[in-house]
Amino acid sequence: MSANLHDLPTPTLLVDVDVLQRNIEDMAAYADRAGLALRPHAKTHKSPAVAALQRAAGATGLSVATVSEAEVFADAGHTDLFIAYPLWLDHDRATRVRALLQRATLTLGVDSADAARRLAAQLAADAAGIRTLVEVDSGHHRSGVPPEEAGLVADAARHAGLEVGGVFTFPGHSYSPAAQAAVAAEEADALKRAAASLRDVGVEPTVVSGGSTPSVAHTHADAMTELRPGVYVFGDAQQWELGTTTPDRIALTAWSTVVSHAGGRVVLDAGSKVIGADRPAWATGHGRLLDHPGARIVLLSEHHAVVEWDEGPVPELGSRLRVVPNHVCNAVNLVDELVAVHDGVVVERWPVAARGANT
Amino acid sequence: MSANLHDLPTPTLLVDVDVLQRNIEDMAAYADRAGLALRPHAKTHKSPAVAALQRAAGATGLSVATVSEAEVFADAGHTDLFIAYPLWLDHDRATRVRALLQRATLTLGVDSADAARRLAAQLAADAAGIRTLVEVDSGHHRSGVPPEEAGLVADAARHAGLEVGGVFTFPGHSYSPAAQAAVAAEEADALKRAAASLRDVGVEPTVVSGGSTPSVAHTHADAMTELRPGVYVFGDAQQWELGTTTPDRIALTAWSTVVSHAGGRVVLDAGSKVIGADRPAWATGHGRLLDHPGARIVLLSEHHAVVEWDEGPVPELGSRLRVVPNHVCNAVNLVDELVAVHDGVVVERWPVAARGANT
């Protein structure tokens, strides 16, 4: 098992286990101080081994994005699962959700009266074992209803025979420079209004769930009961550039080799097929180099990262460098395993068991 | 095996076999008329089944991007392989290249004298079985040497004991609106100058290889001997938006379900974890809908594509739509199999055997 980093093929996704453990413990302590449950989003790591570390640190359960992610984590013994998604149960998904109920406690997202009625109809008697949360749009404008309409959806769900546990939101507009405090305030306001909307129809929310890695430091704990950050476990270049993490907190990198000096630049073998192609308009490049903060990936293709170097001579051909993906969730989903490293030595290999679990 | 499309879980990547076959045959006929060898880039499909169709239509061999892709295709019986990449042979890659030589005919890319010497040193006596091509930068500014320096690299390679077969380039700057004819002219000019540079050091190039899907229609056949397009087999939204393909030529789509009508828009379950996150600055969105050319994906996250609808009422919750990824190579690399469809019925499932083959 143990191997020197320089014996690994490149590109390989490495996880620094010490940084990872610190990130997990710090978020758990933060949620604890705030008096909030922590239900980390497992879409980031897709790895039962990392989920086990989160639960050992106090996570109450996991968030997932798809039924197939729920299947993978349930099979690995992580059985308290919230599918934080506006589910539309077609026949295939309904069949799988029913099977999951035999081995997991499920909370499901809904964002319309039609979806709630569909869910109840498809699950029939099995629906009794499920808790639903109404998704609310707190300003990201992706999915979810306006806060004032949460009661309408809750009422429809309840009349269809579903248990309504409360509301949830994803304040994804926190992924924008300097937006985090304002977004967290918007999130809190939306959740309070949504909870009031549920009470208006006679439903007392026991779960009010939100949070995103960029905005979590600004959490309004009085507005919610639960946090669902995902990216915080590993960190990534987006968080670095938003100022919501620092390089010493970044646990995951793509170990890569300098293959060319074409044009006087540094060409690495870590391309979009291992670090992902995410590039928000505000990012300064297609990823960063952990140990060279001034360098920038100015061109990214499937197997090339072209780096402009800012400091001294470029590293030699064959040198190994650590690339920080812009969006770590999409990078992890490109590999079958993560290589866990402690003090420069490989200590474990963690299967990305839910890689490709989209359905 | 045969199943109705509506029984499939979503999202699933579908391939229309009739469109695929037409794309393959048309490109083969084009290369044949031009008097050029066709060595399609297999990084697009990563599937031995699709490679077999290309070879049946006359492809002389395959291009691949990595040693591990070469391993997968060699294992599947595709044994004439060009690794079109500026290889730097570390110990791991050298060991695998030597093993590959037992079962495949390899052509390898080099873009520096150092890389050529390294290759010769690492392969030692086995180097005799390998042909190298010198990579030239024809204007994309990714990897490759200036055309005038090709002879220097060729000379170093030859003195290190390698066979030099010629030169290659990738004119990737063809991925820009209205650039295709000019880029093809630049490519031809660069290849002619590179070939002349080889002759200056006494190496007669027998392979002069180039081509990209956007620019291939403008090929200067007098400047080259071989074409290596990849994307043409499936097409994608980038090609559609560049005007280098038309919707009826797009073979691959992500079959997806309308899960929400949040904000009066259409939210689909095909996100960046199945269509990829590529979005060039000139693209009009994060992907397109094959059957609704006026619709635009205005927001893409891992499991949500938010679509602004231009025409009439939005499709009902639970409807199925075909999403065209912006960059098909990255989409294919996200799934374990492609579902081949003929007349709306599933006819085959093709393993994406080289998915994740980055090393």
List the domain boundaries for chain B: 5-12+238-351, 18-233
Question: What does the alpha-carbon distance between residue A79 and residue A76 come to, in Å, rounded to a whole number?
Answer: 8
Tens digit of each residue's pLDDT (9 = 90 or more) over B136-169: 999 999 999 999 999 999 999 999 999 999 999 9
Provide the β-strand partners of residue B63: B41, B82
Q: Which residues of A touch B93 (CB under 8 A)?
A: 9
Looking at residues A336-348, what average pLDDT do you find? 96
With an 8 Å Cβ cutoff, is B358 touching chain A? yes
The pLDDT of residue A98 is above 60 = yes
Q: Which residues of B touch A143 (CB under 8 A)?
A: 259-260, 262, 267, 304, 306
In this prediction, residue B312 carries a pLDDT of 87
Banded pLDDT at B247 (limits 50, 70, 90): very high
Q: How far is B33 from chain A (nearest CA, A)?
A: 30
- Tokens 């099977």 correspond to A99
Provide the β-strand partners of residue B207: B166
Banded pLDDT at A73 (limits 50, 70, 90): very high
Q: How many helices and strands, by DSSP H and E, does chain B display? A: 10, 17
In this prediction, residue A190 carries a pLDDT of 98
Q: Which residues of A touch B141 (CB under 8 A)?
A: 262-263, 299, 306
Provide the β-strand partners of residue A133: A109, A166
Give Cβ neighbours of residue B211 (< 8 Å, ≥ 6 apart).
Answer: B171, B187, B219, B224, B226, B227, B228, B229
- Using only C-alpha atoms, what is the Rg of chain B? 21
The answer to whether domain A18-234 has CATH 3.20.20.10 is yes
With an 8 Å Cβ cutoff, is A173 touching chain B? no
Q: How far is A318 from chain B (nearest CA, A)?
A: 7
With an 8 Å Cβ cutoff, is B184 touching chain A? no
Give Cβ neighbours of residue A251 (< 8 Å, ≥ 6 apart).
Answer: A15, A16, A17, A19, A20, A23, A233, A234, A235
Banded pLDDT at B2 (limits 50, 70, 90): low
Of A142, A277, A356, the CB nearest to B299: A142
Tens digit of each residue's pLDDT (9 = 90 or more) over B83-134: 999 999 999 999 999 999 999 999 999 999 999 999 999 999 998 889 999 9
- Using only C-alpha atoms, what is the Rg of chain A? 21
In this prediction, residue A247 carries a pLDDT of 98
Tell me which DSSP letter residue B173 carries: G
**Cis previous bond, A11, omega within 30:** yes
Question: What does the alpha-carbon distance between residue A161 and residue A155 come to, in Å, rounded to a whole number?
Answer: 10
CB-CB under 8 Å, A327 with B336:
no
Of A142, A334, A359, the CB nearest to B356: A334
Distances (CA, A) of B276 to A292, B13, B238, B298: 27, 12, 12, 14
Provide the β-strand partners of residue A277: none
In this prediction, residue A349 carries a pLDDT of 98
Backbone torsions φ then ψ of A169, nearest 5 degrees: -150, 160
Q: Name the nearest CA neighbour of B322 among B284, B286, B283, B292.
A: B292
Helices (H), A126-265: 150-159, 180-200, 237-242
Cα angle vertex A196, ends A194, A200, to 5°? Answer: 115
End-to-end CA distance of chain B: 33
Q: Scanning every residue of chain A, which has its alpha carbon at the shortest distance from the alpha carbon of B326? A: A277
With an 8 Å Cβ cutoff, is B301 touching chain A? yes
Q: Which two tokens stand for residue A54?
A: 């989160």
Q: Which residues of B touch A334 (CB under 8 A)?
A: 333-334, 356, 358
Q: Which of residues 191-210 of A touch B (CB under 8 A)?
A: none
The answer to whether domain B5-12+238-351 has CATH 3.40.1280.10 is no
Q: How far is A33 from chain B (nearest CA, A)?
A: 30
CB-CB under 8 Å, B11 with A359:
yes
Task: Bin A290: left if φ > 0, else alpha if -120 < ψ < 50, else beta.
Answer: alpha
The pLDDT of residue A343 is above 90 = yes
Mean pLDDT, chain B, as a whole number? 97
Provide the β-strand partners of residue A221: none
Looking at residues B56-60, what average pLDDT do you find? 97
**In contact, B333 and B47? CB cutoff 8 Å:** no
Question: What does the alpha-carbon distance between residue B78 and residue B52 come to, in Å, rounded to a whole number?
Answer: 8
With an 8 Å Cβ cutoff, is A262 touching chain B? yes
**In contact, A185 and A218? CB cutoff 8 Å:** yes
In this prediction, residue A2 carries a pLDDT of 54
- Tokens 């004439």 correspond to B80
Q: Which residue pairs from A93-99 have beta carbons closer than 8 angstroms and sit at least 24 positions apart in sequence?
A: A93/A67, A93/A359, A93/B9, A94/A122, A94/A123, A96/A67, A96/A68, A96/A71, A97/A67, A97/A123, A97/A126, A97/A130, A98/A123, A98/A126
Q: Scanning every residue of chain A, which has its alpha carbon at the shortest distance from the alpha carbon of B114? A: A317
Of A118, A272, A358, the CB nearest to B303: A358
Q: Which residues of A touch B336 (CB under 8 A)?
A: 356
In this prediction, residue B311 carries a pLDDT of 82
Q: Please, what is the angle between helix B48-56 and helix B17-34, to 10°? A: 50
The pLDDT of residue A205 is above 80 = yes
The answer to whether domain A238-326 has CATH 2.40.37.20 is yes
Mean pLDDT, chain A, as a whole number? 97
Count Cβ–Cβ pairs < 8 Å, chain A vs chain B.
181
**In contact, A61 and A84? CB cutoff 8 Å:** no
- Tokens 């010490």 correspond to A18
Burial of B129 (0-12, 13-18, 19+ CB in 10 A): middle
- Tokens 């938006």 correspond to B241
With an 8 Å Cβ cutoff, is A278 touching chain B? yes
Q: What's B18-233's CATH class?
A: alpha beta
Q: Which residues of A touch B269 (CB under 8 A)?
A: 88, 358
Tens digit of each residue's pLDDT (9 = 90 or more) over A154-191: 999 999 999 999 999 999 999 999 999 999 999 999 99
Q: Which two tokens stand for residue A241?
A: 């550039």
Residue to test with chain A: of B228, B266, B269, most A Cβ within 10 A: B269
**In contact, A42 and A230? CB cutoff 8 Å:** yes
Share of chain A above pLDDT 90, in %: 96
Q: Which two tokens stand for residue A49?
A: 């081994």
In this prediction, residue A129 carries a pLDDT of 85
Q: Which residues of A touch B358 (CB under 8 A)?
A: 11, 269, 271, 273-274, 303, 334
With an 8 Å Cβ cutoff, is A152 touching chain B? no
Q: Name the nearest CA neighbour of A273 among A212, A199, A331, A200.
A: A331
Q: Which residues of A touch B144 (CB under 8 A)?
A: 262
CB-CB under 8 Å, A330 with B302:
yes
The pLDDT of residue A77 is above 90 = yes
The pLDDT of residue A355 is above 80 = yes
Task: Bin B263: left if φ > 0, else alpha if -120 < ψ < 50, else beta.
Answer: left
Render A292-345 in DSSP notation, one character per residue: -TT-EEEEE-SS-EEEE--SSSPPPTT-EEEEEESSHHHHHTT-SEEEEEETTE
End-to-end CA distance of chain A: 33
The pLDDT of residue A1 is above 80 = no
Share of chain B above pLDDT 70, in %: 99
